[in-house]
Chains A and B, each alone.
Chain A
Amino acid sequence: MARRVGSLLIGMLAVLALPAGVARAADVPREIALTIEKNRFQPEEIRVKAGASFILVITNKDRAAEEFESRELRIEKVIPAGKTVRLRMPALKPGTYPFVGEYHEATAKGRLVAE
């Protein structure tokens, strides 16, 4: 019984891991740099290919932490002062996706444009 449960678990894990492995082998996601400086994003508009996942490499050059946030994409990520964070982004449908720095929302605004 225990062996059965064990093999079942391993099978389930394999099924879960399989698509991830295939996706990773198929295309290495592009890296896109985004910088935070003086509570602003640079660049403020990022153009990406629709339908392809990518990695946002966000560097915070300020002395204060910032939180990258996209309500639309349900992503919230704290970028501590002086740090770089690699953020895996999903494949997007064509469209515009605004994001903000939650801690300095008045100035830190930008958008992702997928096309």
Chain B
Amino acid sequence: MGAAFVVTLREAFEAALILGIVYTYLDKIGGRAYYRYATAGGALGLLASIGAGVAVSFLSGPLLDLGPDVVRTVVVFAAVVLLTWHGWWMRQHARSIKGNVQRRIEQARLTRRLWIIGLIGFTGVFREGAETILFLWGLLTQATSAAAGVAGGTLGVATAALLGWAIFHGGRRLSLRRFFTVTSAILLFVSAGLFSTGVGQLQGLGVLPQSYALWDTSFLLSDRSLVGAFLNGLLGYRARPSALELGAYVTYVLGAGLLLFGNALVPARRRSGPRPDVARP
């Protein structure tokens, strides 16, 4: 039961984190009416995961050898692009939002971007979804410890969902501007972790050359442990990173960091004026 709990919590944590941020974001800009886009994205992600899990069980030959890997790699890079884009967009608006008027403008602009919200929900759930489904399904087929295993697995998913909810709850208390800044920063590191995961996957597939671990901190903090897995989801922690993974991580953090927070480094003249803080609801 314990092992099943750890596996599903590990797999579902990232999805919960991303969905938590997306819902809070919608809440923050007064777009509660649009929750259903995130929900629909997440639900479609779940359906697609079940579909992929079933499909994999029917595939064979070269399709089974390569198909899932191609999908996995496409999804991880798609998630990086979507989250970067979302982070960038939030930063743009964190700067301009000063009151309720802007908030309403934001909401109007949002309607054109709802499909992105949906896609983020989708990729967030789908990325590890099929694996989790196959794992849970496997537990069911094992006669010896099926009940305990399924209980543990379900509890793991539920705990991940609870963490997502906690993020949502905590995020709502932050001021709008601070929320945008904090989540942009979180998404920056989540995306950097995803990007380096994608590069690692390409190494595993032989598309990029294999290189060996630069260091090994698994004796201190294994990325298989719960804490290690949380840090992996949040910051992209890796106990044994390859040079390419590390390079990808650093490049992304620097590049996207500059894109998202570049202006914060420059003491801009336009900041001298009074800047009313975030609107109170």
Q: Give A residues with C-beta under 8 Å from B.
A: 53, 63-67, 71-78, 80-81, 83-88, 90-91, 93, 102-106
Q: A72-B240, A74-B204, A103-B7 are in contact. Are A81 and B141 (CB under 8 A)?
A: yes
Contact present for A65 and B137 (CB under 8 Å): yes
Q: How near does chain A come to B150, taking the closest CB pair, in angstroms? A: 12
Contact of A80 among B3, B134, B200, B201 (CB under 8 A): B134
What are 17 A-B residue pairs whose CB atoms fall within 8 Å in the complex? A53-B206, A64-B138, A65-B135, A66-B138, A67-B135, A72-B240, A74-B200, A74-B242, A76-B204, A78-B134, A80-B134, A81-B138, A85-B64, A88-B206, A103-B134, A103-B135, A104-B3
Q: Which residue of the partner chain A has the closest CB to B139?
A: A64
Chain A residue contacts of B239, Cβ below 8 A: 71
CA separation between A47 and B57, bound complex, in Å? 30
Instruction: Describe B's contact surface by its main secondary structure.
Output: helix
Chain A residue contacts of B134, Cβ below 8 A: 65, 67, 78, 80, 103
Q: A71-B239, A78-B56, A103-B135 are in contact. Are A83 and B203 (CB under 8 A)?
A: no
Decide if B213 is an interface residue (CB 8 Å cutoff). yes
Q: A72-B240, A88-B206, A105-B3 are in contact. Are A64 and B142 (CB under 8 A)?
A: yes
Decide if B131 is an interface residue (CB 8 Å cutoff). yes
Chain A residue contacts of B130, Cβ below 8 A: 78
